[in-house]
Structure formats: structure tokens, C-alpha cells
Amino acid sequence: MRYVIMVVLLIFSFGLTSCSKDKAAEIYDTAQFEELQNNREHALKLYQEIIEKYPGSEYAKKAEERVSQLKQK
């Protein structure tokens, strides 16, 4: 019984992780779209949201790079 519970919890935790990655990717894509629309302020807010909500993710790293580049312009 313990084994079954552990397996279910493990599968559930993997599902939550992938949902976070999907949401971070979705926000990142939206931020890039905002940049293309010359809406830098909204793009910066979205990148900051990624950095705050998904620290350590690949999208947080990309968002930090974009924030740095946008602030230099």
C-alpha cells in the first residue's frame, strides 16, 4: 500500500513540475510577443513574473537575460 501511495505522489509531483514549465513557457512567449509589439514595459513585467514565480528554471534564466538587454536599450 505504501508503495502505491509513493508512486502516485511521485507521478503527481512530476505532473506539477511540467505544469510549471508550461506556464513559464507561456508567459515567456507572451513577453516576447509584447516586445514585438513595442510594449517593453509589459514585457518587462512578464519577465519579472517569470523570475519571481519560477526561479531556477530555464525560462527564469532567459527572462533575466532579456531584462538585462531591455534595460540597456
Query: What DSSP string runs through the chain?
Result: -HHHHHHHHHHHHHHHHHHHHHHHHHHHHHHHHHHHTT-HHHHHHHHHHHHHHSTTSHHHHHHHHHHHHHHH-
In sign, the C-alpha dihedral spanning 65, 35, 54, 17 is negative
Which of the four pLDDT bands, split at 50, 70 and 90, describes residue 13? low
pLDDT value for 7: 47
| 2-11, 16-25, 49-58: the lowest-pLDDT one | 2-11
Instruction: Give the Cα separation of 28 and 48 in Å (integer).
Output: 10
pLDDT digits (tens, 9 = 90+) for 26-45: 999 999 999 999 999 999 99
